[in-house]
Structure 1
């Protein structure tokens, strides 16, 4: 154990079973150290001192090895370690092979181990720097598999971390010191080297083990009296209760907000596309002839179909964006992942029946009369020079009639074509108003269905979290009740164990 105050000059002759039981409960590594150093035999007697063997350290000469040697030197009894070497010149009695947790051992190290075993050396193995490598257990298993064929058995590699030992010494955390593995390694080195150091050194070791055990018991008593563990559990319980709905309220608020924005944007987009199509249709009508105007409703229906496909693509992309934004609020849930809803593939809106034939009215008859009158006037004006010749006076009458009829026919056809364009233009306007209403209904229906699907997914995702939160809250409440019910018995046990240790300290004094 690490050095502290000077120990008494002699050790007690025996350790009672009660003392050994207390040491085994609170400080198992210290109890193992006493057994390894000869401080507590099976019958509790302190044996005669033995001579200690020096341990040959086989390790790379780096900062990690130096730190490990420094930390081992703070333990009692002190174990003599030789300078780090890669290949010992002579066969030592005891050797410590230090491995690294970052990589499996190589062929050179296996060769050194094989020669040491052939020479009868007792070999101990330790793997340093476990704090720096999360996958050190896989490296430990690999090293064990490589050493078993060489040694013929389990090498018993001790995972250690000198830096954890430093942190434990600076913070006074006994549990952290146990995690560092330095105590287990020192115990094995003590047993292998036989470093009891005599009665005075055994007394020092016993003093340190008793003092460290007493500090652990006192620390546990202080923690029980302060109620720190109960307070921590209650704080965690309050935090869980604050988010007991699993984030459902926040997710539903985000869903309503995103769907409202999507509805506004998509309806505005649909209206803008219809207005653009109406403007394009007006421009097309101005260029259509008498024959092509009859097939224009079918062309306009194709344009509506294309517009509907583009709007569906925008709608699908927007719903995928909403589902992604919702997943950022709810978090990934493998049990019930949020999926982007897919709009229904309904047929595109129809323009309705084709425009009805335009019926002739008073305006058409008036245009016939005006056309004939204007035509006869133009014909009369055109043949006026021929009237100066008396012989051609009668020939001007048929020419006048033909010109008048031709001009009247042209005026009537032109006026009819203009009226047909106006008729189709009005039909296009009315039809696109109907298409706009159908597209808005299409968008609204898709958004309502998507909101229903996303709401169901959010409920299922948050329900799993609610169940997990309730389970965790129940565990915390059970733990708090258990701690409160066990606290008096634990405090009594701590006082009883302290009295047992204090009786040993009184015997030492």
Structure 2
């Protein structure tokens, strides 16, 4: 086996088998459903065979000549090209029949033929220029029924005669070993060039590079966790502030409305602050989990100190003097209005009124002063509790952030070591794939060089396509089977 045969066997096994298959007059007819394959095959078989070729038409099998049937009203696309690729893997010549041309006569037919020929050449340039021959199976059937000279003329006009002559010429050409070998070489060259183009344009290192990017971006996990801790701390502080404002409002309403005695306020305040502390502890536990630092197992919950005791001050003495003076004046006014009281009873009445007024005024002033002291004391205790609660929340957040930081540092060290190893593996994989790609490109170029230069021979540039052969006409003159002009 020569080097060329080895390249053909590896790259184009269908073409290699074609080189070792005896010549055959079988033509494979393919097309998408709805193009009239059955009627066209019938008319081609009924057209007769004036030569010794003996054409035979099949729809399946590996044949050297392939007839692609398309409809004049359809545009060649992925479906038609898929049918052609599946049927012409080992083909040498492809002829295209454009059916139903009697529906679009004239210039439109010529435009469609030129368009289809260009599309076929772009899709399968290794076949050279593919003939696109118009044919009407309906007109051919009508001509066959008429018979005689009129039938022969109509058969020529239907295109069935030209199509059969082109197929005969294609089968005759495929009986030449040189033609078959040139076609197989052209197809193999195209396959190798496509592989080289794919290797040079397709980057198979995308997946390793994507994995490297993913590993690099995984480091932001610790930063995201720390930002969540800061956000939770802000929310817990805000919730604690709202709760403490509600406690201060309830205490103030209780004092002003007289619902609760001032002496009962400390117990109520201690209970309210205990509820706030428990709520903050629950919120912190739900957000951050258990604590790890000592002193943070329980939130701020120190007992509320007793309020200041009542004490005699200068205001009480002043109120006493003022009450005595006012009461004495009131007693004197009463004794004067009565008029008939003696001096001793009048003096006793004045003294009694002065004592009662002084007692009542001192009592009221002490109650107001005590209530005011309780109100200030409540405000001070809430402020102190708020500061302590803020300090506890911040310490709790710092503890959580510290734990996350230590865990992140530990994971970071482990990940860094694993990342270095993985990046080294990725780099090695990228280098290996680049080396494999370069080696495959070099192997393809060596195989291409083994096949020899392209551009000479039957399927080289500027050669006429198979099927452009003269045939006898009905009036004895020879005309070309090429209807493209």
Length-normalised TM-score, structure 2: 0.53
C-alpha separation in 1, matches of 2:272 and 2:121: 77
Contact 2:327–2:357 under 8 Å retained in 1: yes
Partner residue of 1:301 out of 245, 250, 270: 270
Contact 1:380–1:400 under 8 Å retained in 2: yes
How far did residue 360 of structure 1 move? Answer: 3.4
Pairs within 5 Å for 1:100-111: none
Partner residue of 1:32 out of 6, 11, 14: 14
C-alpha separation in 1, matches of 2:234 and 2:331: 63
Contact 1:282–1:425 under 8 Å retained in 2: yes
Quick check: 1:411 aligned with 2:380? no
Distance change in 2, residues 1:461/1:378 (3 Å) = same
Moved more, 410-419 or 486-495: 486-495
Stretches of structure 2 lacking an aligned partner (at least 5 in a row): 36-70, 100-118, 126-167, 292-296, 460-485
Distance change in 2, residues 1:19/1:394 (3 Å) = same
C-alpha separation in 1, matches of 2:173 and 2:400: 82
Partner residue of 2:174 out of 196, 201, 205: 201
C-alpha separation in 1, matches of 2:405 and 2:324: 73
Q: What's the RMSD between the two structures over aligned residues? A: 5.3
C-alpha separation in 2, matches of 1:265 and 1:168: 71
Pairs within 5 Å for 1:219-230: none
- Give the corresponding residue for 1:288: 258
Deviations 1:31-75 (A, max 9, x none): 13553xxx14xxxx3413143465697689998997523553473
C-alpha separation in 2, matches of 1:308 and 1:362: 40
Quick check: 1:246 aligned with 2:221? no
C-alpha separation in 1, matches of 2:290 and 2:121: 61
Pairs within 5 Å for 1:7-406: 16=1, 18-26=3-11, 30-32=12-14, 34-35=16-17, 39-40=18-19, 45-52=20-27, 54=29, 67-73=78-84, 75=88, 76=91, 78=94, 198=171, 200-201=173-174, 206-218=181-193, 233=205, 245-248=216-219, 250-253=220-223, 263=233, 267=237, 270=240, 274=244, 277-278=247-248, 281-288=251-258, 292-305=261-274, 307-308=276-277, 341-342=288-289, 346=298, 349-350=301-302, 352-361=304-313, 363-386=315-338, 388-389=339-340, 392-406=342-356
How far did residue 352 of structure 1 move? Answer: 1.3
C-alpha separation in 1, matches of 2:74 and 2:13: 31
Distance change in 2, residues 1:21/1:270 (3 Å) = same
- Give the corresponding residue for 1:87: none
Deviations 1:125-167 (A, max 9, x none): xxxxxxxxxxxxxxxxxxxxxxxxxxxxxxxxxxxxxxxxx99
How far did residue 297 of structure 1 move? Answer: 2.1
Q: Residue 217 of structure 2: SS of its match in structure 1?
A: coil
Contact 2:316–2:362 under 8 Å retained in 1: yes
How far did residue 410 of structure 1 move? Answer: 1.0
C-alpha separation in 1, matches of 2:78 and 2:267: 88
C-alpha separation in 2, matches of 1:419 and 1:479: 85
How far did residue 217 of structure 1 move? Answer: 3.5
Contact 2:266–2:306 under 8 Å retained in 1: yes
How far did residue 253 of structure 1 move? Answer: 5.0
How far did residue 497 of structure 1 move? Answer: 2.4
- Give the corresponding residue for 1:482: 432
Q: Residue 286 of structure 1: SS of its match in structure 2?
A: helix
Stretches of structure 1 lacking an aligned partner (at least 5 in a row): 1-15, 84-165, 173-194, 320-339
Aligned residues: 351
Partner residue of 1:433 out of 383, 387, 406: 383
C-alpha separation in 2, matches of 1:70 and 1:428: 90
Contact 1:55–1:81 under 8 Å retained in 2: no
Contact 1:377–1:404 under 8 Å retained in 2: yes
Distance change in 2, residues 1:236/1:31 (3 Å) = closer
Q: Residue 26 of structure 2: SS of its match in structure 1?
A: coil
How far did residue 436 of structure 1 move? Answer: 0.7
C-alpha separation in 2, matches of 1:439 and 1:368: 44
C-alpha separation in 2, matches of 1:464 and 1:56: 63
For the pair shown, which has the larger CA radius of gyration, 1 or 2? 2
Distance change in 2, residues 1:278/1:18 (3 Å) = same
Distance change in 2, residues 1:284/1:170 (3 Å) = farther
Contact 1:246–1:463 under 8 Å retained in 2: no
